[in-house]
Every structure is written in C-alpha cells, then in structure tokens.
Structure 1
C-alpha cells in the first residue's frame, strides 16, 4: 500500500509523526496522515484536489498538529505558503512534482456536518462552507482566501 501511495499520480499522502524528543524519525510514533486526492488534470475546468486529514491517535488531537500538517501540505501543493500562513519552504526543498502546483481555488474539503472541530480547522485555513450535501450529512468547503463561513451561525 505504501508503494502504491508513493507512486499513485492522483494522490499525495504525507504521514504525520510526533517528534517528541531528539532521535531518528523511525522512532517517532505515527499519529495520522494528510492527503490530497486529485480529480482530473489541473488544466481541466472542473479539476479539484480534495483535502483530507486524520489524527488517528486521540492523545495527539487538539494540539495543533492537524493545523500545522495542513499548512505544510497545502503550501507545498499550491506553492503558496502565504495563503496558508506558513513560512516559505526551504530553498533546499526540491520543487513539487507535476501536476503540482495546484491552484488554491481548486481545493475542496468534505466534512461531516456534525464535525464542528474539523469545520473550524478548515475555516482557520480560509475555507468556507459552500454547500450542504444532505444525502451524505456533510458540508463541502472550498478555499476562498479570507471569506467567512455562514455554516452554523
């Protein structure tokens, strides 16, 4: 599965480790992952990159790990660190592989409408609710670059 994730051109997955002390990364616990699922080609009019994050280990939730991981992933994928309030990536980091960079306006999130913490997390990253999908009990959020959500207000 790891090989497929690494080689799949429609998916970008970063594993989230908790670095609690100095040492080899192999000794750090895996606490979650952050993903982009690319639907179509960036040149397509209806292209979108669906963002997902999971902090699987409950002891690591509510610590800001998800926000930091999303900022890094979205900055990397879009080449727009300032859009996500993230410091620029180091000059030593190679440029993203094609089809990146992705336009921030192509980013979409689908979240359970009852998952208020996730909705708030993405609002901090300048996503706003654009649609309620009642059949799936979820909201669709898109990057709007500073717009405010009216969901739940």
Structure 2
C-alpha cells in the first residue's frame, strides 16, 4: 500500500485494538517500536512526556517491568480521518497489577484514561503508526491503589 493513501477508519480501529493487545502481552520492544512513527513523536503520559525514541524505550522498559496482568479495554473510540493522518479520541479502562518487594501481596490498579492520538502512515512500511499519544486525563476507578511512579 502506498504511504500516500489516506488512513481509513477501519485501518485505524484495527490498529488501536492491536496496540492495546500488544501492550497487554508486553510485546518485544522492537515490535512495540514498529507501531511508532520514526520522527517527530510526542507521548504525554501521566508520569512523563517523551519526544524521542530513547525516552520512549525507557518508558516502555519501565512499564513492562512495573505492571503485569494488564487489561486495556476501549470504552469510547472516535476516529477522524484528516488529510495525512487520523485523529483518535478514546476512553480506555486500564487495569494492571503491581508488586513492590518485599510486600506480601500485589496490588491491583485501575484507571480511566481519556486520550488523543494522531496516527500516520509509516514511510517505511505503509502501516499505521502513532506520532502523538496524549493522555488528557487519568482518573482512578473505585478503590484503586495509586499509580506507582518510579
């Protein structure tokens, strides 16, 4: 597929599903990075803002070593195709477990994350990739433990 073809809503919807599945299974770093634009990225998480690949690698390594039994469930999803990208507005219910040694038990955390992404077509592969991933709000659900920031 040409890298100049506009992204379709179905393409982006499938990409969002794949993205969260790969986060849940802690896909290898190289696989994760293949879903991210090569240049001009912005990832704004609750704990850090990342604008380069080195920072994104640090973030990914930290979260895949901090959280387990993750589940991302998309509650709301709106995709707005634009000329050379697609805007994605979504609400995600995220659950994960954490464990702080030497605690006797793990803790379950649960948050609702309202996000805005921008997805573009990769110049290398022609596949959708994220260029901007902005967490606009990140609210605990119920009696969730606090988000551990390391």
Which TM-score tier does this pair reach, normalised by the shorter chain? Answer: under 0.3
From the two aligned structures, give the one with the greater helix fraction: 1
Structure with the bigger RCO (C-alpha within 8 Å, sep 6+) is 2
From the two aligned structures, give the one with the greater strand fraction: 2
